[in-house]
Structure 1
Amino acid sequence: MKKSVLTLAALLSLATANAMAATTDLSVTGTITPAACTPTLSNGGVVDYGVQSLSNLEETSTTYKLPAKSLNFAIECSAPAAIAVIANDNRRESAGPNPWLFGLGMYEDQPIGIYYMHWDDEETLIDGGSGMNLISRDAGNTWDSHRTATLVDAGRGPDERISFSNQTVSSPTAVTSVTMNMNVTGHINKDLSFNDNVTLDGSATIEIVYL
């Protein structure tokens, strides 16, 4: 009898605990798209400044300006899709506070300089026709047209993304191909002190997101 009483008490205790258990909900969300979009950059995505002498670079009040460079930036989709472009700076520690400026790496704990990536409407083609750049600074909730699009480091700046329109609407257009001439503008910090060659080490990841 004593064993039966102990067993009954254990069962009652367990039932009471189950009745008072807290709960939480799990939600599974997301979007499945039939399209796959692939970005590519000419020259393997390498902007090569070669060997530059400071004495040959254009001087500003705070920097030495590197020669203008550009790459062809293309996006190809397997089916029409509304897309946007974002970027992440892989050398963020050398870039400073401005999210539009990407870092060129460090030299003996000193930031070497910065660069930024941009393109104009005139350089944007959508499915072979003229395109328009759209900018959203609220993760794609609202869009504004901009003649010049400048990539922002997603890890430091506003939740900004760049999309495209065929110039007939002010919201992103579903596209199968986008091409533009992406300009890269770089600057070396004028107060950088060095007595040896400095190797530029800029690196960024450009990503396609689906809207």
Structure 2
Amino acid sequence: MNTPLSLLAAVLLLTGAPSALASSNTDLSVTGMITPSACKPSLSSGGIVEHGRVGMKDLHPDQPTRLENGTLYLDVNCEAATLFTLTTVDNRSGSSAISPSQHGLGIVNDDEKLGSVALGLFDAIADKAAVKTISSRDDGVSWRASPYLGHAGKTSFAAMNAPDTPIAIKDLHARLTAFTIIVPASDLTLTDEIPIDGHITVQLDY
């Protein structure tokens, strides 16, 4: 986030009068915001996990089907070492069929939930050193080692040999794995092609 310092000043207007008893006043406010160094997140492959065509015969009839894991790489580059957290926005909110903490794949056939996708961050490298991925489900009050990346908590990074406390990072590189699950075929009306339509925004806060 790079927000310039702004200054808001009210114009002071004096109404003159010859009498010393006449007076008026107005308020002046000085506002703005000083921000930390800017950080830019990016994903490999244009941020697309492509599962291609999945045949109906490849879906289990009575239990969920796990598709092949998708792999992308997440990079975060900051102007200086910065303390930041990661979360997501599920742009298919309400369509997760497996768990509300995962991301939905869209609604098909008017009212059928297609499945879910969970995200995890692994093999993280921060400023040329291995770090561990940590997450918090209580808005940063407490942290624990976990690869979870999602909208149900905050994700950060800690030194490998230190308590699970977020550290400031300038450059981060991590493997992002997408675990996609399709509901049992018996839960779907399979008469036409069904699009897998997950859409997730990875959000960086600092």
Asked if the contact 2:109–2:189 (Cα under 8 Å) also holds between the matched residues in 1, the reply is no
Q: 2:55 matched to which residue of 1?
A: 53
Q: How many percent identity over aligned positions?
A: 28
In structure 2, the CA distance between the partners of 1:117 and 1:60, relative to structure 1 (3 Å rule), is: farther
- Distance across 1 between alignment mates of 2:56 and 2:135: 36
Which of 171, 187, 192 lines up with 2:181 in the alignment?
187
Q: 2:147 matched to which residue of 1?
A: 149
1:201 aligns to what SS in structure 2? coil
1:55 aligns to what SS in structure 2? helix
Asked if the contact 1:124–1:131 (Cα under 8 Å) also holds between the matched residues in 2, the reply is yes
Which TM-score applies when normalising by structure 1? 0.75
Q: 1:138 matched to which residue of 2?
A: 138
Which of 163, 167, 182 lines up with 2:160 in the alignment?
167
- Distance across 2 between alignment mates of 1:31 and 1:48: 41
Q: Which moved more, 1:163-172 or 1:103-112?
A: 163-172
Asked if the contact 2:105–2:114 (Cα under 8 Å) also holds between the matched residues in 1, the reply is yes
Q: 1:127 matched to which residue of 2?
A: 127
Shift of 1:52: 1.5
Larger Rg: 1
Query: Structure 1: any 5+ residue segments left out of the alignment?
Result: 1-28
Which TM-score applies when normalising by structure 2? 0.76
Deviations 1:75-98 (A, max 9, x none): 111111011101110001211473
Asked if the contact 2:102–2:117 (Cα under 8 Å) also holds between the matched residues in 1, the reply is yes
Aligned residues between the structures: 173
- Distance across 2 between alignment mates of 1:41 and 1:67: 19
Larger relative helix fraction: 1
Asked if the contact 1:36–1:77 (Cα under 8 Å) also holds between the matched residues in 2, the reply is yes
Shift of 1:150: 1.3
Give the superposed CA RMSD: 2.2
